[in-house]
Amino acid sequence: MTQATDFDITAFDTGLFIGGEFVDASDRETFDVINPSDGTVLASVASASESDATRALDLAGGAQLQWAQTPARTRSEILYRAYELLMANADKLAWLQSMELGRALPDSLAEVAYGAEFFRWFAEEAVRIRGDFRPSPAGNARIIVTQQPVGPTLAITPWNFPLAMGTRKIGPALAAGCTIIVKPASKTPLTMLFLARVLKEAGLPDGVIAVLPTAHANNVSGLLEDPRLRKLTFTGSTQVGQMLAEKAAKHSLKVSLELGGNAPYVVLDDADIELAANAIAVAKMRGAGQVCIAANRFLVHESIREEFVAKVADVMRSFTLGRATDPGVTFGALSGDDQVETVTNLVNDALSKGATSVLPAGLPVGLPAGGSYYPATVLDNVPAAAAIANSEIFGPVVAVQSFSTVEEAIAIANDTPFGLAAYVFGRDLGRAIKVAERIEAGMVAVNKGGISDPAAPFGGVKESGLGREGGFEGIFEYLEPKLISIPL
């Protein structure tokens, strides 16, 4: 990989992307992006105003018809060129992500490959949008069903996957023929601005996409009041997503939401303990645990709990905490001091209610001053009353509870308003699958720590969201079926 010192942060775009150009905010306001590894200011980025958002929607509305009528093959080729450009710039983009997110370079490189894959997948889906033709039951008409793009879309993306959470919205929107306005998280706007340049270089017409970083979220989400907007796609907290969905209902916008999670990690009595312990490298420690589908509640059969906890502690000790771009670092800082405070409070609450601290002894020496670091942590005997058993941790903490029967495990797993992801481990595959089928979650991984795949539908049930992203299903979030009835 290219060394991090080869890249100059001042060479990256920091303006709003509107009408195919990078521009200052209309009121010249900016905000600082902080490097979580050391607390320093990484860049100053333009902060979109309400008038900037309105201009972006003006352009999106004006470009909508032409983009919808652009041949599917042309849309496909643009997306595929963007995929190739992302992969060609993987080292540079991974470095940029690590700088603004504090995430270790290996994780950032993995996200570039994952995020780019959504463009390749939806480049292929763009030319496979299908309709239907059939006779009416009465025999006096023919029913034609076509798929038409929903129209101008607002995408609001989170900070924890600054590329992939955008590409899995932008990819299907562009493939379907929708124009799109993207508001990236204020913690990590630089990655999405980089993506805007990639799409321009790939040949995307001006006005089809706008990227609007802002320090004032309402300046962009206020577009939900404009009836020209026809779709909202949001990834973030349940509270914010539900509030935005309420606003979207005013004009009957099509809505897709990927919201909070509280993923159970069920280790049955016949599980391969070493496999279950090692799988936390992906299921928990990817991105230092700041992942919406990260395992949150480790539910382990009482007969194997002690052995599992010991092996997990060994796995967690194998991770190297440090500055995101330093060689050998395998997990970096959390996204900011606010996130460190949240995780600290959850762990302290669990300890005060009877949980046992297995790891760590403390932060390693030599970490950069001002960084937002939290050590790899293992808690055992976590009581059900602890906040950590009922909250999304978003940090490098394994919190272990035990169960005695499968029915008890399923009951604990489902005792949450959330239902995004879950994990089940057991050597008896038929039994493990039956457990997976009874867990209330939109996605369940069996005997593995990874679950996301651009070719598979991603989304949750209950208060974890609406709709699906990725897979064959993902493009239909940006299409509306239209009936054309022909009399005989």
The set of catalytic residues is: 258
d(CA 416, CA 388): 12
DSSP sequence for 317-370? HT--BS-TTSTT--B---S-HHHHHHHHHHHHHHHHTT-EEEE-S-PPTTPPTT
Read off the amino acid at residue 141: A
Contact 122, 175 (CB under 8 A): yes
Q: Using DSSP, state whether 246 is helix, strand or coil.
A: helix
Query: What is each CA distance from 257 to 25, 245, 460, 467, in whole angstroms?
Result: 28, 8, 9, 7
Contact 265, 423 (CB under 8 A): yes
Contact 175, 475 (CB under 8 A): yes
Contacts of 19 (CB under 8 A, 6+ apart): 55, 59, 206, 207, 210
147 strand-pairing partners: 481
Q: And the tokens for 384?
A: 């059900």
Contacts of 10 (CB under 8 A, 6+ apart): 43
d(CA 132, CA 381): 56
Q: Using DSSP, state whether 53 is helix, strand or coil.
A: helix
Sign of the CA dihedral 100, 106, 112, 117? negative
Read off the amino acid at residue 187: K
d(CA 164, CA 168): 6
Q: Using DSSP, state whether 392 is helix, strand or coil.
A: coil
- Rounded to the nearest 10°, the torsion over CA 375, 379, 384, 386 is -40
Give, as one character, the DSSP assignment of residue 20: T
d(CA 163, CA 169): 10
Taking the mean position of all CA atoms in its chain, how far away is CA 465? 13
Would you tell me how many other CB atoms lie within 10 Å of the CB of residue 279?
22
Contacts of 29 (CB under 8 A, 6+ apart): 46, 47, 49, 215
